[in-house]
Structure 1
Amino acid sequence: MAGKDVKTILHLIDTTGPGGAETVFINLLKELQQTEFRNIVVLRGEGWVADQVRSLGITPQFIDSKGSFNLGYILGMKRLVVGESVDLIHAHLLGSNVYGALLAMMCRKPMIATFHGAVDVAAGERFLWAKFGIIGWGASTIVCVSKRLQEELAERSSLPARKLHLVYNGVDPELFCKAPASGLKEELGLPPEANLVVSIGNIRPAKGYDHLVDAAIKMAKLDPNTHFVVVGHQRPALFEKLKAQIRGAPEAPRIHWLGFRQDVVNVLRQADIFLLPSTSEGFSISTVEAMMAGVPVIATRSGGPEEIVSDGESGLLVPIEDSDAIVNAIQRLNDPTLKHQITEQALESAKSKFSLKSMLHAYQGLYERFM
């Protein structure tokens, strides 16, 4: 049981593996551990998220949440809220937002629901109208990680616009202040002069990796010194399609699929260019990380990136689904003056707008408002 003067927050997320939303979830917990709040974490199972939570000194609790409406999960959560004297519930992603809102109504507790991207609330989601209705009623406030997402939810959902609140995701700049890393080119068997175009993100449809492959096929003819490096979990069915796309190329593109890596920071610090080829993005934490790492950014106009990058100033923005535009942007960054100017401005912009401290301050304000 928590002391009367200590406020307890229950944190929920319905995924277990690594990703952008999950990284934000862990980063927020890390910062909150340095505050007066007591943090309780409930997950649906073991995995990367659970391991990261333990590394922060928090022992996660596991309650199975499978199914569209798991009564056992709700009752188990209710017992936890009462037994641990929870003061506020903070949930991330659609599934946990629904359960968190139900729990908030049952227990008469304030609740914050965070949405991380339009892909989390896709139109094909079952009973989406009902889920939006529950969240709209039960959540005290609904956080959107980009203005674009906030506008989309206001336009195409029943969520009350008055409850929608913008909080940008944050990155810790201290992670990227070390000397440049080394070893990636040697690991890949590449010469020192190789130009590395790095992309970070799990392989799924919204990440637009088919357009990255098209760009790599075109770059193979134009500049054999340019190599594309992709870091992220490889969903088998989609990855097979990408490999088939590569096999059909007239000349083999220079792409290195690294899969999931624990050393993303070190990989980014060795990149010459960061590429975000997404067709839809709520925010893109990896784009901010690249800016913090001093790597020039090429990103598609896929939603969130337009709020992070100023085209021609702190990065280069290109249309979605346009491999020619990606190729042209890569070639533009052969200009060392442009590359330097973009990198310097990007670093300054990322530190001022998208730091972890800024995100923590925004969430702390919400916690104090509702508790």
Structure 2
Amino acid sequence: MTGTAGKTILHLIDTTGPGGAETVFISLLNKLEETEFRNVVVLRGEGWVADQVRSLGITPHTIDSKGSFNLGYIRTLRHILKSEQVDLIHAHLLGSNVYGALLALLCRTPMIATFHGAVDVAAGERFLRAKFSIIGWGASSIVCVSRRLQDELADRSPLPKHKLKLIYNGVNPERFSRGSTTALRAELGLPRDATLVVSVGNIRPAKGYEYLVDAAVKMAEVDTNTHFVVVGHQREVLFDKLKARIAAAPRQPNIHWLGFRKDVADVLKQADIFLLPSVSEGFSISTVEAMMAGVPVIATRSGGPEEIIVDGETGLLIPIKDPDAIVTAILNLKRTVLQKEVTERARKAAYDRFSLATMLQAYFGLYQSLTTR
């Protein structure tokens, strides 16, 4: 990267736990550590992200930033930017995008803001228009991880359209080469021929897990050897509602809630079918991971999946909030011929369009253009 030697990037992100945006954040840092860029990381607390950052050999700065506009946080960020001689700011998610943009305006530093999905543009967010305006003024480039998100921001926000850029999130295909283990079935006490329908994603409203539960209840009436497996953090209030829904069902479904797992790649490689039941999705990293793992995908038409999956060719797209459609799609994908055709095309499409290398090339191009002016 000619002209970028010794350049320093300040990285900001809102959250501390695992998720799609956080995975992209760590992937970028991991690859940047192999380049001539120097990385400075500011986090808002301890957790999974901090552990991952340290595993890369980077010691993060931890600063509390409670409140909508925390002036003390800005002052501390400004001190770090000056002392570390930062050349570029890269922020992820709405809150960090706002603070990164303010910092960019104060210090006249180029800045990239990345939006990762609907959570970033929620209509109920306080002072949303003001926050968008600040980002629009301060950011040099505004990255959207899906075409739908880019169109939505262009249509209903004051963000400058000429600054909006599309970069799909990327996945490292090497992590998802197929294995032959049946350890998960043994762990769950299931027969070797049990059909595993795996979903990956933290339990939150946008993920639509109530419809997965209803589908599992219906599936229990027609196929008792199909088991639903859910990987992701279990938010207590929402998880309690899901458990109450199961308890009230006329027939107990085959659902296994695994909670947070570090071995998501291994879990995916043992799946027979991947299910994304979301009611709203910006871009689904787990869907791409399943495609790369050679697992046939069923995904709802919830936004991002329509840009990843071609219905009937690289997976099956179904309506949101439709348990019957989930059951029908699963039964269809249990047909060997369709499953083989879909998975082969899906793996190639995922490698070509959504690889980590493709994402990194796009971001590195932005880094280079903004630090060599």
TM-score interval, smaller chain = over 0.9
- 1:294, CA displacement in angstroms? 0.7
Q: Residue 309 of structure 2 contacts residue 317 of structure 2 at CA under 8 Å; is this kept in 1?
A: yes
Q: Residue 5 of structure 2 contacts residue 37 of structure 2 at CA under 8 Å; is this kept in 1?
A: no
Q: How many matched pairs?
A: 369
Tell me the residue number matched to 2:66: 66
Tell me the residue number matched to 1:43: 43
Structure 2: how far apart are the matches of 1:12 and 1:342?
Answer: 38
Q: Residue 167 of structure 2 contacts residue 359 of structure 2 at CA under 8 Å; is this kept in 1?
A: yes
What letter is aligned with 1:54? R
Residues 1:13 and 2:16 aligned together: no
Tell me the residue number matched to 2:341: 341
- 1:28, CA displacement in angstroms? 1.1
CA RMSD of aligned residues (A): 1.1
Superposed CA offset, 1:47-85 (max 9, x none): 000000111111111111111111111011101111111
Structure 2: how far apart are the matches of 1:161 and 1:320?
Answer: 29
- 1:144, CA displacement in angstroms? 0.2
Tell me the residue number matched to 2:208: 208
What secondary structure sits across from 1:317 in the alignment? strand
Tell me the residue number matched to 2:277: 277
Seen in structure 2, the aligned counterparts of structure 1 residues 28 and 132 have a Cα distance that, compared at 3 Å, is same
- 1:182, CA displacement in angstroms? 2.9
- 1:299, CA displacement in angstroms? 0.2
Tell me the residue number matched to 2:179: 179
What secondary structure sits across from 2:34 in the alignment? coil
The ranges of structure 1 where at least 4 consecutive aligned residues each deviate by more than 6 angstroms after the TM superposition are none
- 1:356, CA displacement in angstroms? 0.4
Q: Residue 178 of structure 2 contacts residue 269 of structure 2 at CA under 8 Å; is this kept in 1?
A: no
Superposed CA offset, 1:6-62 (max 9, x none): 110000001000111111111111111111111111001110000001111111111
What secondary structure sits across from 1:202 in the alignment? coil
Superposed CA offset, 1:146-171 (max 9, x none): 00000011111111111110000000
What secondary structure sits across from 1:278 in the alignment? coil
Structure 2: any 5+ residue segments left out of the alignment? none
What letter is aligned with 1:13? I
- 1:257, CA displacement in angstroms? 0.4
Structure 1: any 5+ residue segments left out of the alignment? none
Structure 2: how far apart are the matches of 1:237 and 1:29?
Answer: 33
What letter is aligned with 1:233? H
- 1:342, CA displacement in angstroms? 0.5
Tell me the residue number matched to 1:98: 98
Structure 1: how far apart are the matches of 2:178 and 2:297?
Answer: 20
Tell me the residue number matched to 2:243: 243
Structure 2: how far apart are the matches of 1:280 and 1:176?
Answer: 25
Q: Residue 119 of structure 1 contacts residue 280 of structure 1 at CA under 8 Å; is this kept in 2?
A: no
What letter is aligned with 1:186? A
Structure 1: how far apart are the matches of 2:257 and 2:291?
Answer: 22
Structure 2: how far apart are the matches of 1:312 and 1:119?
Answer: 29
Structure-to-structure mapping, 1:33-182, within 5 angstroms: 33-177=33-177, 179-182=179-182
Q: Residue 171 of structure 2 contacts residue 289 of structure 2 at CA under 8 Å; is this kept in 1?
A: yes
Superposed CA offset, 1:264-313 (max 9, x none): 00000000000000000000000000001110000000000000011001
What secondary structure sits across from 1:42 in the alignment? strand
What letter is aligned with 1:198? V
Superposed CA offset, 1:331-366 (max 9, x none): 001210100010101100000000001000000111
Structure 1: how far apart are the matches of 2:103 and 2:29?
Answer: 21
What letter is aligned with 1:365? G
What secondary structure sits across from 1:126 in the alignment? coil
What secondary structure sits across from 2:217 in the alignment? helix
- 1:178, CA displacement in angstroms? 5.4
Structure 2: how far apart are the matches of 1:23 and 1:265?
Answer: 13
What secondary structure sits across from 1:298 in the alignment? strand
Tell me the residue number matched to 1:253: 253
Normalised by the size of structure 2, how large is the TM-score? 0.97
Structure 1: how far apart are the matches of 2:289 and 2:39?
Answer: 26
Structure 2: how far apart are the matches of 1:347 and 1:36?
Answer: 32
Deviates more, 1:4-13 or 1:104-113: 4-13
Structure 1: how far apart are the matches of 2:5 and 2:295?
Answer: 45
What letter is aligned with 2:181? A
Structure 1: how far apart are the matches of 2:224 and 2:84?
Answer: 59
Structure 2: how far apart are the matches of 1:250 and 1:211?
Answer: 16
